[in-house]
């Protein structure tokens, strides 16, 4: 349910921008042109008065699907061409008719490579994000280093990469698995302007993150014996400020390595979190509030509702 005052409210049932009928839609389209937003066409036809909204209205099916509405292209970034991280792969919506997109950098865990988190590239990019899955300088790098590398990757993406013109440098997020998830907490602590952080079965020796100002969704796994939730994901979540938009999703029947393969629960809540906080897209609030109930795939969910208040 969109919460806009103008476009989709029940008092204006014929004012839909999608159909471009009626006076309200015409006015909004004219304003969009005046604002330099370009024509309302393609998957972003419903851009409405949130300038960061991308893609059609979501449904449970659309966020659970293996692919979203955007066709995805990819480009490889050689480690030899960058500094501060180990190169990687950029996945991005092929279309240039929807303006710029928010972006997210994703780090693998200890001993692991980009390939271990590669499934998230096309999965997230097809929903309307530029996604940079990276390698680290060495596979033994610790979480603080991984945090700096995520930030170096975002800087490369927005300042020097071949797709820099497609990225909105003011709307960035970080994700990571294990020590990379610990790194995503480090990155958010270092750069409070980040709009979203999503640590996946995170590992870190630092258990306390009260400094974070970035909306953070932490995934734990009930069967994780490498980064047990009792000494990693749970204390990380509990230490986040209670005034922050924060979430803790504990995956049911899952292990430390569950985030290394396609996983619908990780995808649907990550998409919702990134959309809600990188795109300010309140159409996704319905998937986060009220808090998801325990299920076959969710052992437990903690968080605040509603968000942004
Ligand atoms: O990145 C990770 O998988 C961290 C878990 C780990 O192996 O820590 C032991 C030092
Ligand atoms: Zn701390």
Known catalytic residue at 177: no
Which ligand has the shortest distance to the CA of 256? 1
Ligand nearest to the CA of 199: 1
Residue 21: the pLDDT is: 33
**Quick check: is 4 catalytic?**
no
Q: What whole-number percentage of the chain has pLDDT above 70?
A: 84
**pLDDT surpassing 90 at residue 171:** yes
CA distance 131 to 104: 5
Q: Which ligand 1 atom minimizes the distance to the CA of 109?
A: 1
What are the residues whose beta carbon lies below 5 Å from ligand 2 (ion)? 206, 208
Q: Which residues pair with 216 in a beta bridge?
A: 197, 246
Q: What is the model's pTM? A: 0.86
Q: Which of 106, 139, 203 to mutate to test the pocket of ligand 1 (most atoms within 8 A of CB)?
A: 203
pLDDT confidence of residue 44: 53
In the structure encoding, which two tokens stand for residue 144, read together? 């603080």
Superfamily of domain 22-303: Alpha/Beta hydrolase fold, catalytic domain (3.40.50.1820)
pLDDT, tens digit, 9 for 90 and up, residues 14-55 = 333 333 333 333 344 344 443 444 444 455 555 568 999 999
Q: Is 224 a catalytic residue?
A: yes
pLDDT bin (cut points 50, 70, 90) of residue 3 is very low
Q: Whose CA is nearest to atom 7 of ligand 1?
A: 110
The reported pLDDT for the residue numbered 206 is: 98
The binding-site residues of ligand 1, defined as CB within 6 angstroms of any ligand atom, are 109-110, 178-179, 203, 226-227
- Sequential DSSP letters for 15-29: --TTTT-HHHHHHHH
The closest of 198, 206, 114 to 153, measured between CA atoms, is 114
Average pLDDT over residues 143-157: 99
What does the pLDDT average to over 136-146? 98
Report the separation in Å between the CA atom of 104 and the middle of ligand 1, taken as the mean of its atom positions. 22
Residue that has been written with the tokens 């990019």 in this structure: 125
Lowest model confidence (mean pLDDT) among 25-29, 71-75, 289-293? 25-29
Q: Which atom of ligand 1 is nearest to the CA of 179?
A: 1
DSSP three-state, residue 56: coil
Q: Which of 55, 129, 67, 42 is nearest to 92 (CA)?
A: 129
- Nearest-angstrom CA–CA distance, 21 and 100: 26
CA distance 235 to 218: 11
Share of the chain above pLDDT 90, in %: 84
pLDDT at 198 over 70: yes
3-state secondary structure 89-117: EEEEECCCCCCCEEEEEEECCCCCCHHHH
* 102-125 confidence digits (pLDDT tens): 999 999 999 999 999 999 999 999
Least reliable range by pLDDT among 26-40, 83-97, 223-237, 286-300 = 26-40
Instruction: Tell me the C-alpha distance between 180 and 203, whole Å.
Output: 8
Residue 173: phi and psi, rounded to 5, are -140, 170
């Amino acid at each position: 349910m969109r919460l806009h005052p103008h476009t989709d409210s029940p008092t204006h049932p014929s004012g839909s921008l999608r159909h471009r009928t009626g006076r309200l839609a015409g006015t909004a389209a004219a304003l969009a042109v005046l604002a330099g937003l370009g024509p309302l066409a393609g998957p972003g036809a419903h851009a409405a008065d949130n300038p960061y909204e991308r893609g059609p209205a979501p449904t449970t099916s659309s966020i659970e699907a293996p692919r979203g509405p955007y066709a995805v292209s990819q480009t490889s970034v050689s480690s030899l061409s960058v500094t501060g991280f180990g190169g990687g792969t950029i996945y991005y919506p092929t279309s240039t008719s929807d303006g710029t997109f928010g972006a997210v950098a994703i780090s693998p865990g200890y001993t692991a490579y980009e390939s271990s988190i590669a499934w998230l590239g096309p999965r997230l990019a097809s929903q309307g994000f530029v996604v940079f899955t990276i390698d680290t300088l060495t596979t033994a790098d610790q979480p603080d280093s991984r945090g700096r590398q995520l930030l170096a990757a975002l800087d490369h993406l927005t300042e020097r990469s071949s797709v820099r013109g497609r990225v909105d440098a003011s709307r960035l997020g970080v994700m990571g698995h294990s020590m990379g998830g610990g790194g995503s907490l480090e990155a958010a602590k270092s750069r409070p302007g980040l709009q979203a952080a999503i640590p996946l079965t995170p590992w870190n020796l630092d258990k306390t993150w009260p400094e974070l100002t970035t909306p953070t969704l932490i995934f734990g796994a009930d069967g994780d014996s490498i980064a047990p939730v009792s000494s990693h994901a749970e204390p990380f979540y509990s230490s986040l400020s209670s005034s922050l938009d924060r979430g803790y999703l504990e995956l049911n029947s899952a292990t430390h390595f569950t985030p290394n393969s396609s996983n619908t629960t990780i995808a649907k809540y990550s998409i919702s979190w990134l959309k809600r906080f990188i795109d300010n897209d309140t159409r996704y609030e319905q998937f986060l509030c009220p808090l998801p109930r325990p299920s076959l795939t969710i052992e437990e969910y903690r968080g605040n509702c509603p968000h942004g208040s």
